[in-house]
Amino acid sequence: MTAVASIESAKAAAETRPQRVGVLLVNLGTPDTADARGVRVYLKEFLSDVRVIEDQGLLWKLILNGIILRVRPARKARDYLKIWNTENNESPLKTVTRAQSDKLAAAIADHDHVVVDWAMRYGNPSIASRIEALTAQGCDRLLVVPLYPQYSAATTATVCDEVFRVLASMRAQPTLRITPPYYDDPDYIEALAVSISAHLASLPFQPELIVASFHGMPQKYVDKGDPYQVQCIATTDALRKRMGLDAGKLMLTFQSRFGFDEWLQPYTDKTMEKLAKEGVRRIAVVTPGFSADCLETLEEIAQENAEIFKHNGGEQFTFIPCLNDSDPGMDVIRQLVLRELQGWI
């Protein structure tokens, strides 16, 4: 009788437990504070990831701990301070990702058994903490949404790695789905085109050309088979076609290189210098590889590269914001999530 009662109790508990679907938006990450200590903690986690720096041997550890983490945090903290959301005491990436999560939850609120949350791959809120929170709310199915339009091992794959690591420690694992990259998704391309056109229409000048700047990657990673470069090219080609522009009016470049290895080219900063010296006076830059504005867009592009362009003879520079939590941007995320939730809702 005891065994039968235990079985019946377990069945009753299972029947009363809410069966929910968790949706977890994930972006790259950010320091918790805009000071050297906060940046150091963030950089250590980020640069210790074998997906980001594949050679984690003794030489790299010496460079990381002996040089980079001693010198770079103070400098990068100054850069973060230039763009920091002082009202909320957080980076814009965290502000935007939270807003994307809140707006997605509102947009699919008619599915009352779906719970939307957000996390950062590096820093806080961590993926582990949010998966724990979702499962505590009864989510036995989980859709993870890496907010990277283009796939790369250093972004999408490392999100998957961390999700798998967290699930590996769980006895009762949720059923898992992960959204695919959406680099040539018609909704995404349309949203980019609408955003670009609206921004350009608001300007007092007409840019001579648009530069589409994507985050860079060591060339050797692509040589080993990473599809990132191909997907960046596909995004740019689709955007050119949608906007009726040729390669001379919408250029592809790569930014944010780090270290001494050869990275994907052409480099954004070198292109800014070259174009200005060749007589281009008015330029616009869009960053289609970022779903939310962050240090690499608001500081590196909108400030550093603007200065490079003007220092070399350029006159008018405009940065086109990321899709962020705009209506077109949220429509992309909503459509992606609803498509991948088919069969669960």
Residue boundaries of the structural domains of the chain: 186-320
**270 pLDDT exceeds 60?**
yes
Query: How confident is the model over 162-186, as a mean pLDDT?
Result: 97
Q: Is the pLDDT of residue 17 over 80?
A: no
Q: Over range 101-113, report the average pLDDT.
A: 96
Read off the pLDDT of each residue in 309-326 and give the average, rounded to a whole number: 98
245-266 mean pLDDT:
95
**Upstream peptide bond of 207 is cis (omega within 30 degrees of 0):** no
pLDDT over 50 (residue 36)? yes
- Helices 158-168, 127-136: axis angle to 10 degrees equals 50
Choosing among 3.20.19.10, 3.30.530.20, 3.40.50.1400, 3.40.50.720, the CATH entry for 186-320 is: 3.40.50.1400
Q: Is the pLDDT assigned to residue 334 strictly greater than 70?
A: yes
pLDDT at 92 over 70: yes
Question: Considering the entire predicted model, what is its pTM?
Answer: 0.93
| pLDDT tier for residue 106 given thresholds of 50, 70 and 90 | very high
Mean pLDDT of 247-253: 97
Using an 8 Å Cβ cutoff, are 123 and 38 in contact? no
296 annotated as belonging to a binding site for a ligand: yes
**Cα separation of 180 and 188, whole Å?**
13
Let me know: does 119 contact 126? Beta carbons within 8 Å.
yes
In this prediction, residue 13 has a pLDDT band, given cuts at 50, 70 and 90, of very low
Closest CA relative to residue 25, chosen from 141, 178, 182: 178
Instruction: Say which DSSP state 175 is in.
Output: E
Reported confidence tier of residue 16, pLDDT bands at 50, 70, 90: very low
Helix (H) or strand (E) holding 99: helix 92-107
Contact 156, 148 (CB under 8 A): yes
pLDDT at residue number 14: 47
What strands, in cross-sheet order, belong to the sheet with 250-255? Answer: 250-255, 209-215, 282-286, 316-320
111 among annotated binding-site residues: no
pLDDT score, position 5: 52
pLDDT tens per residue across span 120-169:
999 999 999 999 999 999 999 999 999 999 999 999 999 999 999 999 99
Q: Residue 320's pLDDT is what?
A: 98
Given a cut of 80, whether residue 12 has pLDDT beyond it is: no
CA 76 → CA 44, 48, 122, 309, distances in Å?
A: 13, 17, 16, 22
Which pLDDT tens digit goes with each residue over 204-236? 999 999 999 999 999 999 999 999 999 999 999
Instruction: Give the other-Cβ count within 10 Å of 185's Cβ.
Output: 18
